[in-house]
Amino acid sequence: MKPAAFTYHRPGSVAGAVGLLRDLGDDAKLIAGGQSLVAMMNFRLARPEHLIDIRRVPGLDQIRRDGDSLRIGALVTHHAVEIASLGAEFAVLSRAMRWVGHLPIRTRGTIGGSLAHADATAEWCLLAVLLDAVIVAEGPAGRRSVAAADFFHGVFTTALEPDELIVEVVFPRPAPRAALTEFAERRGDFAIVAAAVDLDLPRIVLGGVATVPFVAPVSGIGRPGDQYHSRLAEEAAAAVRVRDEPGVSAHYRRGLVRTLVTRACAEAEEIR
Amino acid sequence: MTEIQLIELTVNGERHELGLEPRRTLVDVLRHDLGLTGTHVGCEHGICGACTVLVDGAPARACLMFAAQAEGSDIRTVESLAEPGGQLSDLQRSFTEHHGLQCGFCTPGFLMLAEGYLAERPGATKEEIREVVASNLCRCTGYQTIVEAIDSCATRRRIASNGTDCAAARRSNA
Amino acid sequence: MSATREPGFRRDGSWVGASVPRREDPRLLAGRGRFVDDITLPGLLHAQFVRASVAHARITGIDLAEVRATPGVVAAYTADDLDLGDITAVLDRPPHEFVPTAMPVLARDKVRYVGEPIAIVVARDPYAVEDGVEAAIVEYDELAPVMSDTAALAPGAVLVHAEAPANTLVDVSLFATDGIDEVFAQAERTGAVVRVQAKTGRQNALPLETRGVVADWDDRDEQLRVQTCTQIPHQVRTVLSRCLGLDERQVRVTVPDMGGGFGQKCVVGREEIAAAAAAFTLRRPVKWIEDRRDALTAAFLAREQRYDARAAFDADGAILALDVDLVCDMGAYSCYPFTAGIEPLMASAEMPGVYRLPAYRVRGRAVTTNKAPTGPYRGVSRPQCVMVMERLMEKAAKALEMDAVELRRRNVITVFPYRGVNNITYDPGSYLESLDLCEQVLRDEGWYKVRSDNHESPDRVIGIGYSCFSERTGYGSGAFAARKMSVVPGFDISEIRMDTSGTVVVTSGTMSHGQSHETTMAQIVADRLGLDINQVKIVQGDTDRITYGFGSFASRSITIGGSAVAAASVRLGEQLREIAAHLLDTDLDNTELDGDGGVRLRDTPDRGMTFAALADVAYLQAHLLPKGVGPGLSATASFDVMGDGTFSNATHGVVVELDRGTGGVEILRYVCVEDCGVAIHPRVVEGQCRGGIAQGIAGALFEQVNYDETGQPLCPSFMEYKVPTAAEIPDVAIHHLETPCAFTESGAKGAGEGGTIGAPAAVLNAVNNALRGTGVELDNTPIRRESVYRALEGTYLD
């Protein structure tokens, strides 16, 4: 389990990274925290000929409030978000981080890397869609913003062009009544099902039920309480289109959706 | 085409200049180029944690980093814990007192995990410690004595710095 | 440094019974241990293997030209290039009971599992060697893979080995009590007959350190020096010398620190032979370190078994008869030295467990399939035997409307020695006492009340389960000869030498891989000689320094190895007294060891000599020695058990909580009441219990090696093979009972495997107890969360 050979690049700026991406084309891959990529390279499931290390690129590791919104630089680690004081408006982000792998993964893995990797059960992907995040990417033509709802295209594929990199993620509105919860057999594993809810919209985003974060269509706001939550849970469970898979039947996965949505609602309610 | 790159690493306070293939992982370089074999290789995909070291003070998987990425960072390995004369640190002694190791293969990873975590969060509760201990795999102990060893070390450090363990009080005020 | 002694647990003044700081700890904690991958040699080369990418095929071509042309690659060899003898493990049983099959070091004409080694590639660094392996081209003529025990036994099944009809390697019916069918018929009318059909998942013993070896040829010593992480160094030497056509003196196997083994390193690996052969051929040092993907897919596995068991009970709950048909899926090859008989023979012999069973019939089979081969794994079959027996007990209690603990009380052996229907004599244990205490602890802690209080909870249900079992330890030559192995492990030999400092070096043929022998055996020696444990150095794992040994497995080390070091120590003590008696001009009977590194006179205790002074005479003033006493201070002793071994025992009590919404299983409380006789080092015993229980829980709830229908392994990483973490494994409360063994030197019984043996049954019973009222019983492991979810929801499909 040793990676194939590659050439290592360490650009000093976003423009430098973009230039390398443009010049090297499909043979190049960005690395920030590398917590998914290096494992895949060790298995030789990924074998880029050029690795562009952007972890030291300055200016991408800040978390800052900007009016109502929260701006998180692409290189901010999961752990930095976990321990940041984001106030009640964005505390959901810090709380959700405890579901991301384990501490030594969170100290290296980044929000930008997680979104670009686009695993449909990844916490950042669900949170981005849940909270209407805007993903700011930079390419040869400059910066552009992509709504999270438009960002995820399929298994490990996104709206990013091959010569673009994520520089920042903007969470445009406070979400004081939001929560994320998951179920896996073992702590730190990728979820079988993950559920993220924002009760103020309301919106439910599910992981583990589709190739991209799945926004479950739910009817309008109700009054807080168990029945409201279980109605949301029933609607979400009814909406998912899943098939039987080895070890996890569609029936069970739908049941997990029901349970986790209910519990995420309860957590979101409790927080307030 | 084996490309060799000049890399400067700072490990346990010592600077090293190395000519390396960029594909060499940090753990392989620590073990085989620098001879620091206390850090172990258990899975090479970031799950078992036998290779856990401190990168700028934070626990990280040395199998999920290329050595080239560690340039400019301060790396600490298990070899840095004991005094130069061999006197074990309080954390290491706590592991032996609580029988927190059997075969000892996972132990350096747990030590560095705990060393980094307690530095950031000296007031950690036993349950919080258990959750962090869940970061790494041990096949011998069943984990209980590892949790106890770290918790006991944390308690003793708090008492040493405060004269008493008032961490619980601090936590409830926070 | 003086050792701290835990007060209270055992008698004062002796090392045995004290939880002294481990001798192993300082180096392991400082990162100064020496594991096999820590070893480097000048000019060291690195090996990896071209492995089969299909499960079952004839090899029609191997092209290594591109491999050899890869930068950094030094050599690449196929089976034809190295011309090695096969590894063949044999049972001395008739052909209808056992079919021997050869395991070639490298596959020749056929591959039988994905991951089977076909060629060895050697390169200058561990990265280049993988580049080389990638460049190999192997052509196959694919055969239909045989991927389950039922497929293997199906009429007309493709044969994995041409010489094994019906894919059956072992088929033994060890016991069949006359009239057993009538007993069942009678019980159907007047008592109860219950049945368990259970399947247990294939598991990986999973030492955190994978397998590995460093080998080099030394011209001066005329030796192939092989440093390998094995539990059985002498058996590796034997197989290596035979495969390579060398004399045994030309092979030296040494074992560095080992990062666990749990049985997986208790068999001779093909890769360690191939890597050593490559070093021999090249006359250059070669290292092979198994990577995790290979360890998860191509190392020795274990535990995949299917049971169909029936038990008859009378109306009062007394067990009358047991009838078991068990099939073990042993994968592609027989392991050396145990053979594919390891699991079915163990299960057949040990099935009755702790119960007074009057009638017994068993058929045990090992079938071969296109999966990675199996070897021993901590507990060997007994986790399954105990699980099946304990499920039978629970079902009988239900059928007879009795309390399951009470039913066990009526059946456990209470009068010792007990001669079982399985022709095994059980030495004294505390079966009933451990059961009573375990139940009492859970009762006193209030768990029965918690269970009833939560009975109506919409979210969670709680269950309490037990397992009551014994574990045969200290298998000597007698027990292994009964299996009819061609290699009969059993005895252990120890040599002790005292130097002029008066300190000793003691060899043992056992091989610690985490069990703390450097500490516990030193405690035994220190007590026998009256030394400080820091004056005792235990040496293991060197075939040049140790006459012969069988390593560490089957919880034999302290019972047999510990008895051998004790006996050697006693002999050395006698020598010291004899010299002292002469020098102090007194009778031998008037001397005794003073408990502080010397010999003193019984009648005038203030007169005596230190060991150092006596050793000085023995080596440097030999002319002063008594007539007939040769120079030097050393002694050798051996120990063996010709009977049936000694039985440790325990009861485990478990409280689980099931989550209706997810099928999640959480262990709320785990209590272990164990009895391993005299505990040499109580904390080490507790460590063995807790670690063993963690592995048993893993088997009950988490770990399983799966394959797809084409034979591709579905768990090449820790993402799929779910080793539980500290978040899943509970704290374990341990209570000790002590029924000393009458025939081991310290009264100790083995303690290495009990935790693993008892845990699956207790967990499974607790889960089923929580499912009471659902009509569903889950008898297969690992328990699937979906099964729990559906059982609670009322939608369980069998």
pLDDT tens for C341-358 read 999 999 999 999 999 999
Distances C507 to C20, C490, C493, C652 between C-alpha atoms, Å: 21, 17, 8, 36
A6 touches chain C (CB under 8 A): no
pLDDT tens for C82-108 read 999 999 999 999 999 999 999 999 999
- Does the CA dihedral C81-C83-C89-C92 come out positive or negative? positive
| DSSP labels, C179-248 | THHHHHHHHHHHSEEEEEEEEE--B----SS--EEEEEEETTTTEEEEEE--S-HHHHHHHHHHHHT--G
For residue B23, the chain A residues in CB contact (below 8 A) are 2-6
Q: Cβ of A256 and C662 within 8 Å? A: yes
Q: Cβ of B44 and A1 within 8 Å? A: yes
**Does C6 have pLDDT greater than 80?**
no
- Least CA distance to A189: which residue of chain C? C719
A103 touches chain C (CB under 8 A): no
Q: Cβ of B68 and A53 within 8 Å? A: yes
**Does A29 have pLDDT greater than 50?**
yes
For residue C725, the chain A residues in CB contact (below 8 A) are 186-188
Question: How close is the nearest chain A Cα to the Cα of B57, in Å?
Answer: 10
Tell me how far apart the alpha carbons of residues C267 and C287 are, in angstroms, rounded to a whole number: 19
Stretch (H or E) spanning A265:
helix A250-271
For residue B86, the chain C residues in CB contact (below 8 A) are 26, 30
Q: Cβ of B133 and C717 within 8 Å? A: no
B87 touches chain C (CB under 8 A): no
**Does C11 have pLDDT greater than 50?**
no
Task: Report pLDDT for C3.
Answer: 36
Of C22, C687, C718, the CB nearest to B141: C687
pLDDT tens for A227-253 read 888 899 999 999 999 999 988 999 999
Number of residues in chain C: 798
Rounded mean pLDDT, C578-592? 97
Stretch (H or E) spanning C253:
strand C251-254
Task: Report pLDDT for C578.
Answer: 97
For residue B90, the chain C residues in CB contact (below 8 A) are none
pLDDT tens for C706-755 read 999 999 999 999 999 999 999 999 999 999 999 999 998 889 999 999 99
Round to the nearest angstrom and report the end-to-end CA distance of chain C.
62
Q: Cβ of A44 and C130 within 8 Å? A: yes
Contacts of C768 (CB under 8 A, 6+ apart): C391, C394, C463, C465, C777, C778
Rounded mean pLDDT, C754-783? 97
Task: Report pLDDT for C12.
Answer: 59
Q: Cβ of B102 and C21 within 8 Å? A: no
For residue C701, the chain A residues in CB contact (below 8 A) are 185
Question: How close is the nearest chain A Cα to the Cα of B24, in Å?
Answer: 8
Interface B:C, Cβ pairs < 8 A: 176
Question: How close is the nearest chain A Cα to the Cα of C786, in Å?
Answer: 6
Which of B 21-40 lie inside 8 A of C, CB atoms? 21, 23-24, 28, 31-32, 36-40
Distances A130 to A145, A147, A177 between C-alpha atoms, Å: 17, 11, 12
Which is nearest to C374 in space by CA: C411, C409, C347, C356? C347
Question: How close is the nearest chain B Cα to the Cα of C26, in Å?
Answer: 7
Rounded mean pLDDT, A69-91? 97
Q: Cβ of C661 and A249 within 8 Å? A: no
**Does B169 have pLDDT greater than 60?**
no
B60 touches chain A (CB under 8 A): yes
Q: Say whether C418 sits in a helix, a strand or coil.
A: strand
Tell me how far apart the alpha carbons of residues C280 and C105 are, in angstroms, rounded to a whole number: 15
C293 touches chain A (CB under 8 A): yes
pLDDT tens for B8-32 read 999 999 999 999 999 999 999 999 9
Task: Report pLDDT for A272.
Answer: 53
Q: Cβ of C291 and B2 within 8 Å? A: no
Q: Which site among A2, A6, A8, A30 would you substitute to test the B interface, given the most B Cβ atoms closer than 10 Å to its Cβ?
A: A8
| DSSP labels, C373-385 | -B---TTTTHHHH
Which of B 72-101 lie inside 8 A of A, CB atoms? 72
> Given a contact as 3+ CB pairs under 8 Å, which chains touch B?
A, C
Rounded mean pLDDT, C106-118? 97
Q: Which site among B31, B32, B45, B111 would you substitute to test the A interface, given the most A Cβ atoms closer than 10 Å to its Cβ?
A: B45
Range in B95-104, C474-483, C511-520, C528-537 the model is least confident about: C474-483
Identify the band that residue C9 occupies on the pLDDT scale cut at 50, 70 and 90: very low
Q: Cβ of A186 and C724 within 8 Å? A: yes
- Least CA distance to C33: which residue of chain B? B38
**Does C10 have pLDDT greater than 70?**
no
- Least CA distance to A101: which residue of chain B? B135
Rounded mean pLDDT, A43-59? 97
Q: Cβ of B96 and C258 within 8 Å? A: no
Q: Which DSSP symbol is given to B31?
A: I
Q: Cβ of C793 and A256 within 8 Å? A: no
Task: Report pLDDT for C119.
Answer: 98
B49 touches chain A (CB under 8 A): yes
Rounded mean pLDDT, A90-105? 97
- Least CA distance to C694: which residue of chain B? B142
**Does C8 have pLDDT greater than 50?**
no
Long-range contacts of the stretch B164-169 (C-beta < 8 A, 24+): B167/B122, B167/B123, B168/B125
Task: Report pLDDT for C4.
Answer: 36
Of C664, C724, C789, the CB nearest to A252: C789
pLDDT above 70 covers a percentage of chain C that reads 98
pLDDT tens for B52-65 read 999 999 999 999 99
Contacts of A175 (CB under 8 A, 6+ apart): A89, A90, A92, A130, A131, A198, A200
Question: How close is the nearest chain A Cα to the Cα of B134, in Å?
Answer: 7
Task: Report pLDDT for B162.
Answer: 83
Rounded mean pLDDT, C13-40? 96
Contacts of A36 (CB under 8 A, 6+ apart): A109, A113, A117, A119
Q: Cβ of C72 and B78 within 8 Å? A: no
Q: Which site among C208, C262, C703, C725 would you substitute to test the B interface, given the most B Cβ atoms closer than 10 Å to its Cβ?
A: C208
- Least CA distance to B41: which residue of chain C? C209
**Does A261 have pLDDT greater than 90?**
yes
For residue A255, the chain C residues in CB contact (below 8 A) are 661, 789, 793
Distances B146 to A146, B90, B134, B136, C372 between C-alpha atoms, Å: 46, 14, 10, 11, 33
Rounded mean pLDDT, C70-76? 98
Whether the CB-CB separation of B90 and B152 falls below 8 Å is answered with no
pLDDT tens for C378-435 read 999 999 999 999 999 999 999 999 999 999 999 999 999 999 999 999 999 999 999 9
Rounded mean pLDDT, C122-148? 98
For residue B28, the chain C residues in CB contact (below 8 A) are 126
Q: Cβ of B63 and A42 within 8 Å? A: yes
Interface predicted TM-score (ipTM) of this complex, two decimals: 0.96
Name the phi and psi angles at C357, rounded to 5.
-110, 120
- Least CA distance to A39: which residue of chain B? B45
> Given a contact as 3+ CB pairs under 8 Å, which chains touch C?
A, B
DSSP-derived pairing of the beta strands A214-216 and A203-207: antiparallel
